[in-house]
Chains A and B, each alone.
Chain A
Amino acid sequence: MLNKALTDLLTKMADDELILGHRNSEWTGLGPVMEEDIAFSSMAQDKIGHAWALYNIMEEKQLIGQSADMFAFCRAEKDFKCSHLVELPNAGYDFSLMRHFLFDHAEAIRYESLQDSSFEPLQHLSKKVKGELKYHTLHANAWVMQLGKGGEESYDRMQTALNEIIGLAAGIFEPSKDYEDILIAEKVYPGEKELYTRWLESIYPVLVKSSLNLPDMAGLTPGYGGRQGKHTAYLAPLLKEMGEVFNLDVDANW
């Protein structure tokens, strides 16, 4: 049972990072300033790298019966456990930046909590990625603050983006009913509800400094479903694109 619960946790974490990494990488060559192209590319590499590391842990611990490449590039859409937030197309830089801010704070908090995890591979990985995530959140904070106070149009765009995706971002913390209790009991991680509370505490002061208003979270419908394999219409085409070359011949070396 614990293994199933671990697989569920690692899969949703890795899938979130793989899919958001994919989306971030789409900014390569298209950013509003060259420096942001480079930043989004860099963060995309980190995210995809984290996903790879998580899939590798599952492969090594025999939680999945296939290679990380096969698991990532050949799985059916319904078997993905990413949140709806990461699936959406990039839209504009306002949307992408706000998603980056909300997701990366959530990610940083999750890995921070895993530094004391009873599951050693996660403990090691979280110590390794801590240094990277520090820069991701610094980057997100600096830009959200700059653009929140960057004049009327910029403020308006950032507040609109926040209003539109805060509910989807809350979906990151969708409870995993069947598995969460055992993970908490075994001290693998503190559970989604606890992480959600810590996340709100983390984003709120930055939003205040950016003159942005956090919508009333109690009145929101969180974007749940992704953790159960129910996805937006955007995931299937993304996966098809991602596996396009790999699936020409899954046995070949590429």
Chain B
Amino acid sequence: MYGGGYIFDEPNNKQLREEKVHDEPEKLAAFEERIARGEKIEPGDWMPTEYRRQLIRLIEQHAHSEIIGALPEGTWITRAPGFKRKLALIAKVQDEIGHGQLLYNAAETLGKTREEMINDLLSGKSKYSNVFNYPAKTWADVTVIGFLIDAAAIVNQVANSKGSYGPYCRALERICYEESFHLKQGQDAFIELATGTPDQKAMLQDALNRWWKPIMHFFGPPDKASLHSEKLMEWKVKMASNDDMRNQFLDTYVPKIWELDMTLPDPALHKNEETGRWEYSDPDWDEFFRVINGGGPCNQERLQVRKWAEEHGRWVRKALMQPTEKHAMPVA
């Protein structure tokens, strides 16, 4: 998983601040020409202050989403039914943590340390994908997350992997490769329930009904309300608009859900054949903003778990920093 399309910014930072930062015009022009030519920007290269700031924010939030996103599914590892599902789920969640690690490393190349990023996560200053502020109540929720939320994340991540910042693109290429397996295991478990006993099917329908709204929120608010300027698109930080990604997701996955004889809780959901775009009811954007600002069902719990891990692991990290007692034991 798990990068959502929405890049949260502090309310007082909503405007791009390029006009306030005086990047040298010649360097800026050369930078923009490189991006227009399709070149990748590397860590040592000159880049506008605002480009760096936006990228840190984007990659950091993506990394947080990976490690927080591991929590709702992680609670089902111990309850996964049967060896096949159990092993697949541990491997999948482990991958997500690994993605977090890759992404923190990518963000560190821009000058912010992992510790600073984790501290900002714990203090609430830095956000993660909203979708993980909802609970995974049953096994069917795990299959919905593994299938549909991973699918949504792939749409976003494949787009971002074509972006302009080299380390982020390379991390995303590897992430997308692993995600395609996650999607398969999620889809397989989803289909098992959809074609299973009446109780299994009912369990899945209930999960779909509860997750549909967060899934519609996943790519962020409609373009008309989006606060991010075209500059991010021009710099290839943001590679596709929220509505375009949402449409692409709906176009691929709604038919797959309907084929399995499952329903979605939006009677207005349909494809307008003339425009080729999907139309749907307002998925309650007020709720989206309420949840992102801390008012979701699991915001507190998710951060508390991360705080527990930080506090209980502190002595280990301290011991690792011990400079005098260094072991030179080869690992392999």
Contacts and interface: CB of A to CB of B under 8 A. Distances in A.
Interface of A: 22, 25-26, 28-38, 41-42, 44-45, 48-49, 52, 68-69, 72-73, 92-93, 135, 138, 141-142, 145-147, 149-151, 153-154, 157, 238, 241-242, 244-246, 248-249, 252-254
10 contacts: A30-B312, A34-B101, A36-B316, A37-B94, A38-B97, A41-B93, A44-B90, A153-B315, A153-B319, A242-B78
A80 B247 CA distance: 51
B199 interface: yes
Contacts of A45: 87, 90-91, 94
Interface in B60-84: 67, 70-71, 74, 77-83
Interface residues of B, number: 48
Contacts of A248: 81, 199
Contacts of B317: 32-33
A146 B305 contact: no
Given A245-B81, A245-B139, A142 B87 contact: no
Interface stretch (B38-46, B122-130, B234-242, B323-331): B323-331
A242 B79 contact: yes
A246 B79 CA distance: 8
Given A31-B313, A242-B79, 19 more contacts: A26-B78, A28-B74, A28-B90, A28-B94, A29-B67, A29-B305, A41-B91, A41-B97, A42-B94, A45-B91, A72-B83, A142-B329, A145-B327, A150-B320, A151-B322, A238-B78, A241-B78, A245-B79, A245-B80
A222 to B, nearest CB: 28
Contacts of B332: 135, 138
B178 to A, nearest CB: 13
B320 A146 contact: yes
B327 A146 contact: yes
A140 to B, nearest CB: 12
B90 A48 contact: yes
Contact of B309 (A22, A30, A48, A151): A30
A80 B318 CA distance: 39
Nearest to B70: A29
A100 to B, nearest CB: 14
Interface in B81-105: 81-83, 85-87, 90-91, 93-94, 97-98, 100-101, 104
Nearest 7 interchain pairs by C-beta: A32-B313, A150-B319, A154-B319, A32-B316, A254-B81, A41-B94, A149-B325
Contacts of A253: 192, 196
Which residue, of A37, A135, A138, has the highest number of chain B Cβ atoms within 10 A?
A37
Contact of B83 (A52, A135, A151): A52
A93 B313 contact: yes
Nearest to A157: B315
